Amino acid sequence: MRRRGFVQVCAAGIGCLGAGPGWLLAASEVTPREYDTVQLVDRRGEPLRPSALEAGRNYIFHYPYTATPCFLLDLGESVPGRNGLRTRDGGTYDWPGGVGPGSSIVAFSAICAHRMAYPTQQVSYIGFRPADGGGRQGRITCCAENSVYNPYAGGAVESGPADQPLAAVLLEHDRDDGALYARGTLGGELFQRFFDAFEQRLRLEHPNAEPEARVRGEARVVPLRGFSRNVVRCGAATGGEPQDDAGT
């Protein structure tokens, strides 16, 4: 079940990215990219259950590579899929929506699609900001230059300079063992650009591992506030500061 036959981007059909004229690229379909299926675990190494997640709180794990951070979010309400998302290369894809008992759990790459700001242990400019109490849903915002993404809509760009959605991480909730798994990505990946741009920095941030090594077996999930020492506020553009600093 977990290993069902994914097809990598452009592995089948027309419109391979970067390999054809513009009209052909516009017609391309971005299909899920399969990586290792890994179990999400808590800081003690125990399987992470959906009930352990606090709605609206930022959690971080690294997937599919040692140095590529992702957000795990329980949005607190059922999140339906969203069709017709589009990458900057013109590829389109359909996002499957939330998983878990309430279909409320989602995950996205935490690498901003604009200029690749990402959470480090020192600082995070990007994060989910919960609803401001005015009936508005929360958003993932990047304070670097104020890109705003909608996690209820597959990470689609709502405003700011980013030109494609955050890449989605495909999750699975196993009803038999109650655990959560990451099994691939969907959308405009930036991983190679990320490694090329930040190679030296990533080596310093991950001294005990190869930054480009695939994550295998399990991925540890921690609150963003427990990962980054300084979670930057975005002021009025964000609807408030992250509410993720309790109980870390």
Q: Binding residues for ligand FES, per CB under 6 A?
A: 112, 114-115, 117, 142, 144-145, 147, 160-162
Task: Please list, residue by residue across 70-103, b when 16 or more beta carbons sit within 10 angstroms of its beta carbon and e when fewer do.
Answer: bbbbbbbeebeebeebbbebbbebebbbbbbeeb
DSSP letter assigned to residue 65: B
Contact 158, 17 (CB under 8 A): no
Tally of residues, the chain: 248
**Quick check: helix, strand or coil at residue 234?**
coil
Burial 213-240 (b: 16+ CB within 10 A, else e): eebeebbbbbbbbebbeebbbbeebbbe
Min CB(70)–ligand FES separation in Å? 16
In the complex with ligand FES, the residue whose CB is nearer, 85 or 117, is 117
Q: How near is the Cβ of 159 to ligand FES at its closest, in Å?
A: 10
Taking the least distance from each CB to ligand FES, the nearer of 10 and 110 is 110
Pick 15 or 187: Cβ nearer ligand FES? 187
Strand, coil or helix: 151: helix
Tell the smallest beta-carbon distance from residue 149 to ligand FES (Å).
10
* Residue 50 or 161 having the CB closest to ligand FES: 161
Q: Cβ 172 to ligand FES, closest distance in Å?
A: 29
The residue (of 99 and 148) whose beta carbon lies closer to ligand FES is 148
Bridge partners of 93, per DSSP, are: 85
CB of 148 to ligand FES, least distance (A): 9
In degrees to the nearest 10, what's the CA dihedral of 25, 26, 31, 33?
50
